[in-house]
Amino acid sequence: MVNKDFFQALNDLEAQKGINKEYFIESLEAALTSAYKKNFGEAKNALVKLNPDSNTIKVYSYKVVVEEVTDPDKEMSLQDAKLIKKSAKIGDEIDRTEVTPKTFGRIAAQTAKQVVMQRLREAERVKIMGEINTKQDELITVVVRRIEGDNVYCDLGITECEGVLSAKDRIPNEKFTPNSRIKVYVKTVKESFNMPYVQLSRTNVGFVKKLFELEVPEIANGEVIIHNIVREAGYRTKLAVYSENPNLDCVGACVGNKGLRVASIIDELKGEKVDIVPYSENPAEFIAGALSPATILHIELNYNDKTSLVIVPDDKLSLAIGKSGQNVRLAARLTGWKIDVKAKSAVPSLNFDEEDVETTEDTTSSNDLFEDNSAFEDLE
């Protein structure tokens, strides 16, 4: 059966969609073989072969070489097979004969249409999945297409693929309008039956990380390294950075000349406060920096359970703790230490000068250090 138009259509699909025609041919041969058996019976083994070089579709019957023949229409003994092919062995398909029916063209056309459409959808999905997977954990600019309930659906610039920005992944109180362009972080890509499900975010810490990589060349090229980021979206972010170059001011690099770099990021975060602190392997120094902008007088550390007692001036207590405990809560998450903040007047037994930060390393139980653990309750 000769069908030039059919094979030309496969060539056109390959050129237009970038999908190798061999992908279709393998599936078509299996589907057409099944269609042949359904319409012309299964009395014999049959297979369909497509030949793009000669533009032909042919049906062949064959027999399988077995040790003991139970179905002469489908099987052949090894002895008889060797009469046809001396190198024949058990399991070979032999005695292939063309049995293409004259009426097979119509059946083939119907089957081929169904298979091609199905495989085309699958190939498109695989292609889109491969493209969107390269954007996982990346910062991209998308176009808002529509808003349905709490979800904002965005055009990713990939055919038939949308991203979803849910309420929990939006900065509190920010509003969007259709056709507006926004920056988002690709948080999750999942395969689904039709198209990939792409979950976008503007609240994930990855969003802040990518903004800093975009605005601060020293982070992008690895001169400044982000140790950790913690965030309560819409309110405050704390970022710990360091550099292996002792002559590089890593905090200054992130802030930029006259604060322009961090100002650009704060603008994208809708005014969210951003504290950039230097990371230190010394826990006391790190904790002191993490509690910025509060002034620290004294720190005691308990290495057994990574708890710390931080003393601040009386008039800086509310600043150190922050609104609803936010500042100390984020500092604890940034450093990995539990932090109990107390005013100087609350610990009269400790004597120190306000100009110095004194730290002690204690390995006793945290119960011996802290009489009031209320600050920890917010951290659990």
Q: Are 76 and 189 in the same domain? A: no
Give 155's strand partners: 143, 162
Q: Is 255 within a domain? A: yes
Query: What average pLDDT does the segment 205-227 reach?
Result: 97
> What 3-state class would DSSP assign to 324?
helix
pLDDT at 343 over 80: yes
pLDDT band at 159 (very low <50, low <70, confident <90, very high): low
**CA-to-CA dists, residue 234 to 66, 203, 268, 331, angstroms:** 73, 8, 11, 17
What's the CA gap between 292 and 81, in Å, rounded?
A: 86
Return all residues near 380 (Cβ < 8 A) that are at least 6 apart.
Answer: none
- Would you give the end-to-end CA distance of the chain in angstroms? 74
> Which region, left, alpha or beta, applies to residue 256 given φ > 0 means left and ψ of -120 to 50 means alpha?
left
pLDDT band at 193 (very low <50, low <70, confident <90, very high): low
What's the CA gap between 282 and 280, in Å, rounded?
A: 5
Q: Are 228 and 252 in the same domain? A: yes
Query: What average pLDDT does the segment 104-132 reach?
Result: 78
pLDDT band at 115 (very low <50, low <70, confident <90, very high): confident
pLDDT at 25 over 90: no
CB neighbour class for 324 (10 Å; exposed up to 12, middle 13-18, buried from 19): exposed
Asked whether the beta carbons of 230 and 330 are under 8 A apart, the reply is yes
Question: According to DSSP H, which parts of 159-234 are helical?
Answer: 205-215, 217-220
pLDDT at 370 over 50: no
> What 3-state class would DSSP assign to 230?
strand
Who has greater pLDDT, 116 or 163? 163
Q: Are 89 and 18 in the same domain? A: yes
**CA-to-CA dists, residue 347 to 242, 268, 351, 363, angstroms:** 33, 42, 9, 20
Q: Is 10 within a domain? A: yes
Which element (helix H / strand E) includes 161?
strand 161-165
pLDDT band at 130 (very low <50, low <70, confident <90, very high): confident
Q: Are 159 and 183 in the same domain? A: yes
The structure tokens listed for 57 are 């579709």
Query: Which tens digits make up the pLDDT trace of 245-293?
Result: 999 999 999 999 999 999 999 999 999 999 999 999 999 999 999 998 9
CATH number of the domain to which 103 belongs: 3.30.1480.10
What's the CA gap between 139 and 202, in Å, rounded?
A: 10
Q: Is 133 within a domain? A: no
Total count of domains within the chain: 4
Q: Are 192 and 214 in the same domain? A: no
What's the CA gap between 52 and 14, in Å, rounded?
A: 13
Q: Are 151 and 215 in the same domain? A: no
The structure tokens listed for 73 are 């229409």
pLDDT recorded at residue 353:
56
Cα 337 versus chain centre, distance? 29
Q: Are 101 and 20 in the same domain? A: yes
Q: Is 157 within a domain? A: yes
Note down the domain range covering 304: 294-324+332-380
The structure tokens listed for 97 are 């004969």
Query: Which tens digits make up the pLDDT trace of 42-55?
Result: 777 888 888 888 88
pLDDT at 373 over 60: no
Q: Which residues in 224-370 belong to E strands, given as ranges? A: 225-232, 236-242, 273-278, 298-302, 307-312, 338-343, 358-362
CATH number of the domain to which 235 belongs: 3.30.300.20
Query: What average pLDDT does the segment 23-37 reach?
Result: 83
Q: Are 357 and 368 in the same domain? A: yes
Rg for the chain, CA atoms, rounded: 35
pLDDT recorded at residue 351:
66
Q: Are 122 and 231 in the same domain? A: no
pLDDT at 110 over 50: yes
What's the CA gap between 354 and 141, in Å, rounded?
A: 49
pLDDT at 32 over 60: yes
**Mean pLDDT rounded to a whole number for the chain:** 85
- Domain-ending residue, one of 160, 179, 201: 201
Q: Is 286 within a domain? A: no
CATH number of the domain to which 167 belongs: 2.40.50.140
Who has greater pLDDT, 238 or 80? 238
- Domain-ending residue, one of 66, 96, 127: 127
Query: What average pLDDT does the segment 88-99 reach?
Result: 87
Q: Are 193 and 215 in the same domain? A: no
Q: Are 14 and 65 in the same domain? A: yes
Considering 85-89, 124-128, 142-146, the range whose residues carry the highest mean pLDDT is 142-146
The structure tokens listed for 221 are 């090229």
Q: Is 287 within a domain? A: no
Q: Is 289 within a domain? A: no
Q: Is 13 within a domain? A: yes
- Domain-ending residue, one of 102, 127, 152: 127
Cα 3 versus chain centre, distance? 45
Who has greater pLDDT, 114 or 357? 114
Q: Are 157 and 186 in the same domain? A: yes
Query: What average pLDDT does the segment 220-225 reach?
Result: 96
What's the CA gap between 140 and 210, in Å, rounded?
A: 10
Query: What average pLDDT does the segment 341-360 reach?
Result: 69
